[in-house]
A = this chain, B = another copy of it.
Amino acid sequence: MIRIALDAMGGDNAPDVEVEGSLQALAEHPPWSIQVLLVGRRADIEESLARHGQPPDRIPIVDAPEVVGMAEKPLAAVRGKPKSSIAVGLGLQKRGEADAFISAGNTGAVMAASTLLLGLHPGVDRAAIGALFPTSSKPVLVIDVGANVDCSARELYGFAHIGAVYARDVLGRPEPVVGLLNIGEEEEKGNSAVKEAFPLLKDSQGFRFVGNVEGRDILRAECDVIVCDGFVGNAVLKFYESVARLFRGLLEREMEPDVLESPGARRVFKVLDYSEYGGAPLLGIRGVSIICHGSSPPNAIKNAIRVAAQAVRSHLSQHIGAEFAGDGAVA
């Protein structure tokens, strides 16, 4: 049984979205396979369960009276609110009472609390957020998308290894192909960090490094993992989300309603729908922590639960730890 602690107070429409997403997830998984623990203000969660026509004990609740606001400073919030749903939810994992944590709350606070409470695997310099980019074929993991800026070559190198383990364990790609995001394909291109990272990556084990890739190559899906500084990854990720919205808006403005309702149009929208991809994992920590958009719909929470369960089942965190320790270690 995989036990997933879900921050019921995160996100713009908490706890209803979290309750709804949990119910959807429970309906899709056999009852012996996963358990969802709703972490947050008990009364709020029980009211939400009632709104969904559920008894108050339908899903176990772990009471956490404090709530971290979306605009609060991460470190101050983590230190000042030890009874927040974020701190309590991660505390369950730290004590071995849960296997994974999911939150659509304050991203910075989830990152800070995950790193502080669970710690990093030895040898991992910085935890990184990986995001799946939808393409017309398979999704591509871009790492980092915002946990780190001003990354060193060494850190980029670490992201490649972390991302490769994720690709193997969660995406089912046994020999991941890794590219380094750059402004040109030639080895001598780029800023100082990527120029230095290139030779480190060229000599790596455990994945196939295909060299520099450009912004236009990400969606070709020839790579399983694209490595970049969190500044550029964040810019591209958020840009992608907005382009998908722009496209949708353009189609809605220019096309006939019956066209928009067609099965083909639905398939196009589905590819572009981020909620299909279920949150972005914080990787490199000793445990499983998944960050969802504040605006996540229930479907995104349901998918994050699926991804978290897959991460636990595949021993993702342990494999990342092993990648950085022992004989086959990241040098």
Contacts and interface: CB of A to CB of B under 8 A. Distances in A.
Interface of A: 135-136, 146, 149-150, 181, 183, 190-192, 214-220, 228-232, 234-243, 246-247, 249-251, 253-256, 259, 262, 264-265, 267-268, 271-272
A243 B243 contact: yes
Contacts of A192: 150
The 4 closest A-B pairs by CB, nearest first: A215-B238, A254-B264, A215-B239, A216-B242
Given A150-B191, A249-B136, A268-B251, A228 B219 contact: no
In this complex, the member of A220, A229, A243 whose beta carbon has the largest number of chain B beta carbons within 10 angstroms is A243
A235 B219 contact: no
Contact of A243 (B214, B219, B235, B268): B219
A11 to B, nearest CB: 17
Contacts of A243: 219, 240, 243, 247
B246 A255 contact: no
Nearest to A147: B183
Given A183-B149, A251-B268, A246 B231 contact: no
| Chain A interface mostly | helix
A215 B235 contact: yes
Nearest to A247: B247
In this complex, the member of A146, A234, A264 whose beta carbon has the largest number of chain B beta carbons within 10 angstroms is A234
A183 B250 contact: no
20 contacts: A146-B183, A149-B183, A149-B191, A183-B230, A183-B231, A214-B234, A214-B238, A215-B234, A215-B235, A215-B240, A232-B232, A236-B239, A239-B239, A239-B240, A243-B243, A247-B272, A250-B271, A250-B272, A254-B265, A255-B262
Contacts of A255: 259, 262, 264-265, 268
Contacts of A190: 149, 231
Nearest to A181: B235
A135 B243 CA distance: 9
Contacts of A250: 136, 267-268, 271-272
Given A215-B239, A259-B259, 6 more contacts: A136-B249, A146-B183, A215-B240, A215-B241, A216-B238, A243-B243
A190 B235 CA distance: 11
B216 A239 contact: yes
Contacts of A264: 254-256
Contact of A235 (B135, B183, B220, B246): B183
A147 to B, nearest CB: 10
B215 A237 contact: yes
A242 B268 contact: no
Nearest to A108: B184
B215 A242 contact: yes
